[in-house]
Structure 1
Amino acid sequence: MGYWTINSLIIFALCALLAGVLIPQILLIAYRRNLFDEVNERKIHKGLVPRLGGIAFVPVIIVSIAVLLEGNIKLGYSMFSDALSNCNLPLLSTFIALQLLYLTGLADDLIGIKYRAKFVVQLICAIFLLGGGVWFSSLGGVLGIGEVSPWFGYPFTIVVLVFLINAINLIDGIDGLASGLSSIVCVIYGVAFMFLSEYALAIVSFGTLGVLIPFFYYNVFGDVNKHKKIFMGDTGSLTIGLILGVLGTILYVHPNNNMLGVNPSIIAFSPLIVPCFDVIRVYMLRIRQHRSPFLPDKSHIHHKFLAAGMKPRMAMITIVSVSALFTIMNFALASYMKVNINIIVIIDVVVWTLGNYWVSRKIKTYQASLGSKNA
């Protein structure tokens, strides 16, 4: 474990360093070429902010893994290359899908692409991942269902992967939210894969965490007036969503239940509750209001917190904290109280619903107070 702990720290530091160097250069180019995120009624930011931060993510992760692999080989250590070989098909299919989604996101950030075209590319990426062995061969006991046939597992996996990609993309609405939530997922997945001896996947998790940290700094603490602020754009949110979707799927169906002391499906599902539940709620709301579920609006959870009078940074901290609490609660219920996964899902839905109801009440109270002040 010591060998892999060192390599995990190295990949994290290397990705953080390279992203920390690359993001300021992206900022420089963006300001010279006037490549900014347009301001409209849905956006809450002020001033000119580039949305090309995600350009750094995939190249930095791939280059860092290659550098780490070369360093291990040069030093005579074969364990890293062996770990990559044991996971070669899933990783190769992931890197192919990442390149496709990376180019699609880049095109969307630069010139704009219709959501139908992005949806088609996401389907193609999911099919590539199926070819690499990334699919739900089991539902982990949800609804009492264990192993499933490919006839169900393949289409189900496509739906889940496309859903997760868009969940991360849609939750990227205020500074630090998508990167903060994704960072928590990367930490949890990385530690889980270490305990499961899936070291190559742990390396990917910690490498992804490494690129998110410097971006989080520039995104949250960057000064617009000093040309230091940046958004991840679709290039970042789509590729991060794909990475988390792949890692989460592999973790969810992992057969080794004993190493974590809890069903891996609990660990895979819990950190993604906030973006997933939020997308489901928003889609259901739009359909109920006879609107297209794919057209943007201001009904996401972060919009609700802002409508309740909360400042953007406090809203981000609150939502990220809620995500962490969901994970802690589910792990405690599964490991210490031995609660069935179906009961845990029901508890999560109830807690989420009550939380949204509470926020809705806060919005009404806040709007009423504003109305009385303006009267």
Structure 2
Amino acid sequence: MTQEVRGVIAPGRNEPVRVARVLVPDPGPGEVVVRVLACGVCHTDLHYREGGIGDDFPFLLGHEAAGTVDAVGPGVTEVAPGDFVVLNWRAVCGRCRACLRGRPWYCFDTHNARQRMTLADDGTELTPALGIGAFAEKTLVAAGQCTRVDGSVSPAVAGLLGCGVMAGIGAAINTGGVGRGDSVAVIGCGGVGSAAVLGSRLAGASRIIAVDLDDRKLAAASGLGATHTVNSRETDPVEAIRELTGGFGADVVIEAVGRPETYRQAFYARDLAGTVVLVGVPTPEMTIELPLLDVFGRGGALKSSWYGDCLPSRDFPMLVDLHLQGRLDLDAFVSETIALDEVESAFDRMGAGEVLRSVVVL
């Protein structure tokens, strides 16, 4: 039976978001309806509102979410009603060339629910952000987008693993391969960059250098494990990183901004044979030019991190368990909890650098 819930939609490019009545259909084959308990406010949601990720308005925003399974469709065996789950936007297919080669975290044919949720007022189809749409009391997703985790964890914390925190931790551990004793520099210390700092500490890095323009973000990064901070408004970050690493550069540099100028900084701030990881998301018009001789001569690896190269079924339960053991401070990312109708103001606080994450709690 179709259910009517409240949800936050972006009605048009750069228009303020609003709470609307949304119809959620019964789950079809391979689909699940999830009762959302908490959902983080991510920069990606703002990009949707601004039209930076397409123009298929109206969007049902929200994607960093945790909740309980409300109902399952035919053929669903992964989860059952009542299960506590974290949602992800990369339900792997198990059949593409990446999956068949044992690399499902690179799945080239990820999928979402087939049915669309609609506006109750006029039946307009909604486009769920990243295939999730979790700024809503309930949402419809593919079963593979649900990962069961220990239900004793706070939903506000667990939901953040669905995007930003996982992207940052995974950029360090999965993509960057940070290991014990490594030196790491993280350029950009918003939610994703701060998570990369935390992931580097978890991996045993000996020197973790946080770089940002905002001293508030640098202070937060220090609390998450950064051993040194660099305000790039005041200091050349490349020179500072080299000075802090014996003149060599860092073993791994994680770029969490997604801009040509910061990527160039990352490229030249790494040691010879070091690794650059791009986890910041650029916009379509951005380009970069580097001397090919420098690309060759410096060696190492230039990598992009897709969703922290994570495999939700492997990584989400592990990170939740580490958090519950007191070994991974995920609470530090929850700056505030808010209601559904406060999402627009949360965008303002995010843009002003006042929060790591605002979390909608339902």
TM-score (norm 2): 0.28
Which is richer in strand?
2
Which is richer in helix?
1
